[in-house]
Structure 1
């Protein structure tokens, strides 16, 4: 990783935002909610609940209310058909390899290393044995020489327990500046601005993600060279947005202003732009309609499932808690209330861990006041009347 790389970890009530910057440009982004971990890397002593030869796998009870799927290919050796290798009720140590996403539960593997298997000794199924690494630690290990700056004391302590202490700085104050806050806010929008008025629009669907390139001021122009240059710039941003938003599965890209024949010239630039992705997405080529086909492994949930698109009541509520803490820092001791749409208040009430974190950080409770006249996005923070 470049010497000009840095990792910034912003900790706020109910949410951790991780930014990887190279030469001050956002190149990696993660948003996690500690009270809703995605579970990748978690170790369980699971119990087989249903064997499905037709699906070449088995469903396992990981914990109360949580079921995972074990593909036959993820059984430990020797290789045998799933119906012969397992039986209902069997206790089996597994690790989560893919988070629940797209309406499907987590996927697991039973191919574990001896230290992982040792954790299951003496446990009773079903049981969580160990949590996997969080986003900050994953990025820190991937960018193994990048300094890490965080505003969370517990986060700093956790990172120091696993990494060289000299890499980690506990910063007293916000670690996201206004530009970085804006960059993260843009990740919650389907539109991405490009130079010259061009843009990308990102459309997630249950089956695939479609990315449309709009030519902006070049729309209607017959200058093929200018269109090609614009699309090459778009290809670079497409690859970056796929990484930042953690888009996965099938991805189709519709470039702008070029005939299907001329779009062949974009295959090589797009393939090159995708090469820096740690998940190794594959550019499968171009369809007969001129759409570029990309497939990228599904591991962690895409950002639009974490935040919602448009942002959910919980996403907006956690952002309001973050803003309220900033106001408390600017006016210490001032009692505040959050006036918001009832569904936002309900979403925060269902996340008591986030409200408790706010209370500990602010030294007082944030009063929640539902207002039926307000819509999501119209919430406001006010000084509590005497």
Structure 2
């Protein structure tokens, strides 16, 4: 099946969205009962955490944790935004660097300046976008125009800027009062519209997951083993401390088997981590291959990560020949949702 399809449906009663490209599941978003990333609270400072430079906050959804606190006293209200999903038993991660994000525009309060995505290369288009930005932006907030502006209707871009700037002004002025949710984070359907901007067929009718075979694709995410070509496999197993990834050549005993399996695995690893909602510390045990191949393997991984929006750091190789990766936890593990 060629082409891109966005399916908007519900899974076990929860809102869900999936992106399929050429018959391969590229991304899936499933709602949970946890606070969504992007949610903005007026939180109340509770108590500092000595030695960590942070503070617990009271929010309508429970305790939140704010890092790098300066000049914040217990009882003081503060505007914060949820940055990711909390691990079981831990506080909600929040930040004071609030962003108002939509399909075309990101408004950045407290960070003035007009910026255009570097992916937009056409000088005439950049000049036209700057004109739209200057005509719509007021106040001291900053603006980032996203790569999705390329080819978009200028009126739609202006509407987006106006809406985000208006919301920013309203929220950032609402600083006094008890703990309150000021803005709810986007759900899967809104996120799909906001983030999946490449041309695609959209199926928003009930049962779209079944029509496009997405239910079966999700079943594959329950299994740890990922096939790699004729005989190789990549086994992804999350533990309480880290995510372990083991790459095997299977029955291929040719001299280049290890390199082939490793390259195939690292090309697909960001997609697998994204679909499975995995982050934190990731340790990869590659298939046996000479040390001279490590540079090529790492380059392959970095190239694959450029297509992935989640902040990921390739830390390097250990003395035992394992590759360490640090990835932001911005999703709920799929195993917690599908069980």
- Above 0.5 in TM-score? yes
CA distance in 2 between counterparts of 1:87 and 1:252 reads 40
What is the correspondence of 1:157-196 to structure 2 with a 5 Å cutoff?
A: 170-171=204-205, 173-177=207-211, 179-196=213-230
CA distance in 2 between counterparts of 1:60 and 1:30 reads 28
**RMSD (Å), alpha carbons:** 2.5
CA distance in 2 between counterparts of 1:234 and 1:145 reads 25
Deviation at 1:174, TM superposition (A): 3.5
Among 293, 299, 321, the alignment partner of 1:268 is 299
5+ residue gaps, structure 1, are 76-81, 151-169, 312-386
Specify the alignment match of 2:49 in structure 1.
Answer: 52
Among 175, 178, 187, the alignment partner of 1:125 is 178
- Cα offsets for 1:85-133 (capped at 9, x unmatched): 1111112222111221254221112234374463363863111122011
Among 191, 195, 199, the alignment partner of 1:138 is 191
Instruction: Note closer, same or farther for the CA distance 1:122–1:141 as it changes in structure 2 (3 Å cut).
Output: closer
CA distance in 2 between counterparts of 1:289 and 1:205 reads 20
Instruction: Note closer, same or farther for the CA distance 1:263–1:111 as it changes in structure 2 (3 Å cut).
Output: closer
Please give the secondary structure, in 2, of the residue aligned with 1:210. strand
CA distance in 2 between counterparts of 1:68 and 1:148 reads 39
Deviation at 1:216, TM superposition (A): 1.4
Pair 1:252-2:249 in alignment: no
TM-score normalised according to structure 1 size: 0.64
Specify the alignment match of 1:301 in structure 2.
Answer: 332
- Cα offsets for 1:56-85 (capped at 9, x unmatched): 111000126x0001112xx6xxxxxx3xx1
CA distance in 1 between counterparts of 2:4 and 2:93 reads 33
CA distance in 2 between counterparts of 1:12 and 1:227 reads 39
CA distance in 2 between counterparts of 1:201 and 1:145 reads 31
Specify the alignment match of 2:66 in structure 1.
Answer: 70
Specify the alignment match of 2:84 in structure 1.
Answer: 98
CA distance in 2 between counterparts of 1:31 and 1:194 reads 26
Please give the secondary structure, in 2, of the residue aligned with 1:44. strand
**Structure of larger gyration radius:** 1
Q: How many residues align?
A: 271
5+ residue gaps, structure 2, are 99-108, 110-140, 142-166
CA distance in 2 between counterparts of 1:13 and 1:306 reads 9
Please give the secondary structure, in 1, of the residue aligned with 2:321. coil
Specify the alignment match of 1:23 in structure 2.
Answer: 22
Instruction: Note closer, same or farther for the CA distance 1:177–1:267 as it changes in structure 2 (3 Å cut).
Output: same
TM-score normalised according to structure 2 size: 0.72
CA distance in 2 between counterparts of 1:174 and 1:19 reads 9
What is the correspondence of 1:1-386 to structure 2 with a 5 Å cutoff?
A: 4-33=3-32, 36-63=33-60, 66-72=62-68, 82=70, 85-101=71-87, 103-112=89-98, 113=109, 115-116=167-168, 118-119=170-171, 121=174, 124-147=177-200, 149-150=202-203, 170-171=204-205, 173-177=207-211, 179-218=213-252, 221=253, 223-260=254-291, 262-307=293-338, 311=339
Specify the alignment match of 2:153 in structure 1.
Answer: none
Specify the alignment match of 1:349 in structure 2.
Answer: none
- Cα offsets for 1:258-303 (capped at 9, x unmatched): 2555444422222222221112422222211111121222223232
